[in-house]
Amino acid sequence: MSDAATTAQKSPPKVSGEKPDVGHMEEFGANFARFLMRCNAECGELAEFNMGGQQTVLMSGPAAQEAFLKTLDQKLSRAAAYQATVPVFGKGVIFDAPPDKMKIQLKIQVDALRFQKMKNYSAIISREVEDWVAGWGDEGELDFLEEFLHLTLHTATHCLLGTDFRYKLTDEFRELYHALEKGLQAIAFVDPYMQQPIFEARDKARERLQELIGAIIAERRANTDVQYEDALETFMAGTYADGSFLTDNEITGLVIATIFAGHHTSSGTATWTLTELARQKKYSSAVLQELQVLFGDGAPITFESLREIPRLEHFIEEVLRLHPPLILLMRRVIEDIDYNGTLIEAGKTVAISTYGSHRNTDYFPDPECFDPHRSSPDTLFAYIPFGGGPHKCAGNAFAMMQLKAIFAALLPRYEFELVDPDDSYQDDFSAIVLKPNGPCRLRYKRRK
């Protein structure tokens, strides 16, 4: 027993409703955002539940969330908690790599998303939006959940993998990538290797993507005199401590992981942003006015011009509060923890809920009300759309820049309104990544 085990005097309170064999998995799988809110309401700061045999402790409130994200890092393992990503990213990549290699891989990923790179990315995103709307005409109706899935996949691949890859992008690539996404449903965090059609499709997709991306890597190695200035170039140039380069499998895995950071969450946030702009007219008019001043006369959208757009930024921040990209974050306990006199034993999983945190009435009065003018909480760990601490999402700056570039190009051109009843636009809780329940139909009309 560790010192934590001998010091702590009690265990976390247990959540009611546990069933034999499956524990709370049925309720968790049905709507785990609401389930986690029930856990917090019933048990308070710490709440223990059974996720299909894996004892899990939900840590709620800024103090507990800060401990999870920051002060308990040396006792928690991300890799053990996110084994569901291993078949998606690949063997030996990030959460399946030894700690020293994982650290270097993540550093290389961060290098690909640094400030200097993003100066080029904003122009690429603007050009993708121009191409996207070119065939819209003066008015029409679209399912923007599907539209943003395509657009953000295009922007992510163009920025991260380069022009050569983007314009070789085929329907096959999109289908393969979406098969990987489906492989991260809630059940994958219980056992990602069980016999399931979605997992079989996931594995075939990962194998085929290895072939497609491997061909691009081989082509670039044969043309070493060309400078690409994209993330793939950064991955191919990255080395480990002994000077060895990443393998094709590791590069492919980093490509997939980085596209997830730049696309998977951004498509849902972009869809929700446009939806809220369409139904929050009292706030969206001020956002439009701001963008028309900056870009309404055709001024170019540059990284510098996107730096300060406060009304749009605050609007997106409120979208991220109500509809955070990831519903929960998890870690595996590798050493007993004494949290304020409560023992959390090694082998258990700990989790925090961004969805629940952003609905904490102590920090967000009337939390279901959309209000981009609400005051920011005094504590850093109440508002956590991208996590926090040393492992804050590496793609958060890219995601915000991408969203601002999309709407800076889109809103001065078109106005939008909901097609279906307001209350039909709801969150989809079927996967760990939050997005609207499709279809998400909006009507557009060119501005005069």
Bridge partners, residue 51, by sequence: 23, 54
**Is residue 37 within 8 Å of 61, Cβ to Cβ?**
no
Q: In this structure, what DSSP letter does residue 191 have? A: -
Identify the H or E element spanning 416. Answer: strand 414-418
Q: Could you give phi then psi for residue 230, rounded to 5 degrees?
A: -140, 180
Render each residue's pLDDT in the chain as its tens digit; 448 residues. Answer: 345 655 667 999 999 999 998 899 889 888 888 999 999 999 999 999 998 889 999 999 999 999 999 877 778 988 888 899 999 999 999 999 998 999 999 999 888 877 566 777 888 888 899 899 999 999 999 999 999 988 998 888 888 778 877 887 778 888 998 899 888 887 787 789 998 999 999 999 999 999 989 998 998 999 888 888 788 899 999 999 999 999 999 999 999 988 887 676 788 999 999 999 999 999 999 999 999 998 877 788 888 888 889 999 999 999 999 999 888 899 999 999 999 999 999 999 999 999 999 999 999 999 999 999 999 898 889 999 988 887 777 778 888 888 998 999 899 999 999 999 999 999 988 777 888 998 999 999 999 8
**pLDDT tens digits along 299-312:** 888 888 888 899 99
Pairing of strands 54-59, 349-353: parallel
What was the pLDDT predicted at 87? 96
Domains belonging to the chain, first-starting first, are 3-446 (1.10.630.10)
State which amino acid sits at residue 167.
Y
Q: What burial letters (b/e) apply to 186-203, b meaning 16+ CB within 10 Å?
A: bbbbbebeeeeeebebbb
CA–CA distances in Å: residue 242 to residues 95, 107, 109, 234, 431: 20, 16, 18, 18, 39
What was the pLDDT predicted at 1? 38
What was the pLDDT predicted at 6? 55
Q: In this structure, what DSSP letter does residue 61 have? A: S
- The rounded distance, in Å, linking the Cα atoms of 386 and 363 is 18
Q: Which residue, chain included where needed, has tokens 């009337």?
A: 366
Positive or negative, the CA dihedral 209, 210, 214, 215 is: negative
What was the pLDDT predicted at 230? 82
What was the pLDDT predicted at 2? 46
What was the pLDDT predicted at 115? 59
**Is residue 250 within 8 Å of 92, Cβ to Cβ?**
yes
Instruction: Report the candidate in 366, 255, 268 with the shortest Cα–Cα distance to residue 319.
Output: 268
- The rounded distance, in Å, linking the Cα atoms of 95 and 73 is 15
State which amino acid sits at residue 441.
R
**Is residue 180 within 8 Å of 202, Cβ to Cβ?**
yes
